[in-house]
Structure 1
Amino acid sequence: MSASTNLPGWTHLYSGKVRDLYEREGAASDALLVVASDRVSAFDHVLSPGIPGKGELLTALSLWWFDRLDIPNHLLPADEQAGDGTAAEAIPTEVAGRAMLVQKLDMFPVECVVRGYLTGSGWKEYVASRSVCGIPLPDGLNNGDRLPEPLYTPAYKAPMGEHDENISFEASIELVGEADATALRDASLAIYAQASAIAEERGVILADTKFEFGRNPHTGVLTLGDEVLTSDSSRYWDADVYASAATAEARMASFDKQIVRDWLAANWDQTGTPPELPAEIVEKTASRYRELLDRLTA
């Protein structure tokens, strides 16, 4: 997948489904530039067209959350006041508004997933085995129900191009050692608790999310990296709709690309090239991304 653009002074490292990563030129530098594109993916395919403004919306939401969470993060000082021109010299104008200047971290190969509600793949497993990622749950739960307590369900971060794999907490210990595995779990649950409370104050439910952490190579401190609590990495629901909707599906209408997933599932058999997204679906999806940012940051 090609980079979003050529940036003078920066070397393109790689592109994921949504983000492009650049390294500042110069052997002494450990700065990275994380650029969020307008690309949208579903069922492991990047779709066409993208969602206009999505990169800026995701970046704005990550910066907003980083500013509120009680844990060290990978933003470099120039990003602390992003949006008022402070970072203008550091972040190229070509990607201004949709890029974060960050400290390179020694990343852990663990994706830290926290689930506060029973939904998605967790619901499917619960129906089959009364468990989520192997963690037993009581009988009688329904799709979309709040879990008795948030669950930490880590995944192994596979090499680029391969699928991440759900693993047990014990398996995460084998990957990174008991001390770091415990620190990752405890930090993830603490962030989820803090973020859930902030979201609930704004009438939004944080159903689940995922975090990525690394260690700062200079200080050794456990540090939150990548994006955080965006509508690409999290499920958010409208609290009023959740409380009043007549069906489970209606109460879980999310502020993300679920509209895209639903349309694609109904119009594509997942073989060959995905069809182009209709303009109506693109606009509805963009509107949901914008609404979440407005609801949380107002």
Structure 2
Amino acid sequence: MSAPAVDGWQHVSSGKVRELYVPADTASVATATELLLVASDRVSAYDFALEPPIPGKGELLTRLSRFWFTQLGDVPNHLLTPTATSIPVPDSVASRSMHVMPLRMFPVECVVRGYLVGSGWVEYQESGSVCGVPLPAGLSNGDRLPEPIYTPAYKAPQGEHDENISFDRTVELVGAEVATQLRDRSLHVYSEAAAIALERGVIIADTKFEFGHDADGQIRIGDEVLTSDSSRYWDATTYAEGNRTNSFDKQIVRDWLSANWDKQGTPPVLPDEIVERTAARYRELIERLGA
């Protein structure tokens, strides 16, 4: 599916779920002073973009990012406040776009885990640790960790799989000072957001952040933040009752794929029922958080 034409903006690249634009009179991202990041309704899992899209997903996830950027005002991010000289954002994409500053992104996905679940649970059963971080014995699937842990990943080029890496490897990639800042900011943002969500009856089990530095060298959060695509959300009430699978994210999609696909070749088309259930959970999370 081709990217939509946006008046005043020139399309420059497509990700699994987002489109990137520069002002129409700008030659490239390298020379741009402002960017437009437009979220599509596409959904991805296991590093594949899936079919069909989830209706309304782009708008809902953009609302979530904007909500969290506002809530986390003490952490610099890439949002731009429109000025008289800013390129206008057309109404056709306004609800699912973010007007942002260019960042030079670090090749690291900053993953924070507050609960033992997913690939972390699989690894823990084998080694008693997650991404090299040792954990206490006797934990069960879905248990809250004694404290959140930072488990970075190398952000592979599009079409390749991301790779879990150690903190030492992060130091090799970006230097000790930046690696430390990425870790500390990630843990700070997760802890702040987890407390806010819990007040609204929602658990953030884990999440991932992406950071870059601006033209002045300041490190900022880029891309999306704490969306249903980048985070695992649970209902706190049902979690307390012992149900650790009641997610507000795309876990419905992951679970269906795990049961119906061997992860070889092209993923199967998602059934209508899975698409509808996922869209409903995205909407419910927005309501619960008040985003």
TM-score range, shorter chain: over 0.9
Select 2:235's aligned residue among 229, 238, 246.
238
CA distance in 2, matches of 1:123, 1:284: 25
* Residue pairs, 1:183-194, within 5 angstroms: 183-194=181-192
Q: Does 1:10 pair with 2:9? A: yes
Q: CA deviation at 1:48?
A: 1.9
* Residue pairs, 1:81-160, within 5 angstroms: 90-160=88-158
Letter in 1 for 2:250: K
SS in 2 for 1:91: coil
CA distance in 2, matches of 1:172, 1:148: 24
Letter in 2 for 1:13: V
Select 2:259's aligned residue among 252, 266, 270.
266
Letter in 2 for 1:267: N
Deviations 1:142-172 (A, max 9, x none): 0000111110111111122211111111111
SS in 1 for 2:179: helix
Letter in 1 for 2:116: L
Out of 117-126 and 8-17, give the one that drifted further. 8-17
Select 2:77's aligned residue among 73, 76, 79.
73
Deviations 1:178-231 (A, max 9, x none): 1111111111011011001100100000100000111111x3211111000001
SS in 2 for 1:67: helix
What TM-score do the two structures reach when normalised by structure 1?
0.91
SS in 2 for 1:151: strand
CA distance in 2, matches of 1:132, 1:259: 24
SS in 2 for 1:8: coil
Q: How many residues align?
A: 285
Q: 2:39 maps to what in 1? A: 36
Select 1:51's aligned residue among 41, 51, 54.
54
Select 1:257's aligned residue among 231, 235, 250.
250
Q: 2:222 maps to what in 1? A: 225
SS in 1 for 2:82: helix
CA distance in 1, matches of 2:259, 2:241: 26
**Do the aligned partners of residues 128 and 290 (structure 1) sit closer, same or farther apart at CA in structure 2, a change above 3 Å counting?**
same
CA distance in 2, matches of 1:270, 1:163: 12
Deviations 1:250-277 (A, max 9, x none): 3232111111222222233334443332
SS in 2 for 1:77: coil
What TM-score do the two structures reach when normalised by structure 2?
0.93
**Is the contact made by 1:255 and 1:289 (CA closer than 8 Å) also made in structure 2?**
yes
**Is the contact made by 1:3 and 1:20 (CA closer than 8 Å) also made in structure 2?**
no
CA distance in 2, matches of 1:42, 1:225: 20
SS in 1 for 2:206: strand
Runs of 4+ in 1 over 6 A off after TM superposition: none
Q: Give the fraction of aligned pairs with identical amino acids, expressed as a percent.
A: 65
Out of 165-174 and 276-285, give the one that drifted further. 276-285
Q: CA deviation at 1:44?
A: 3.1
**Is the contact made by 1:3 and 1:12 (CA closer than 8 Å) also made in structure 2?**
no
**Is the contact made by 1:90 and 1:101 (CA closer than 8 Å) also made in structure 2?**
no
SS in 1 for 2:99: strand
CA distance in 2, matches of 1:193, 1:200: 11
**Is the contact made by 1:3 and 1:15 (CA closer than 8 Å) also made in structure 2?**
no
Unaligned runs of 5+ in 2: none
* Residue pairs, 1:138-217, within 5 angstroms: 138-217=136-215
Q: 1:286 maps to what in 2? A: 279
CA distance in 2, matches of 1:180, 1:141: 32
**Is the contact made by 1:3 and 1:14 (CA closer than 8 Å) also made in structure 2?**
no
Q: CA deviation at 1:128?
A: 0.2
CA distance in 2, matches of 1:273, 1:148: 39
CA distance in 2, matches of 1:132, 1:270: 23
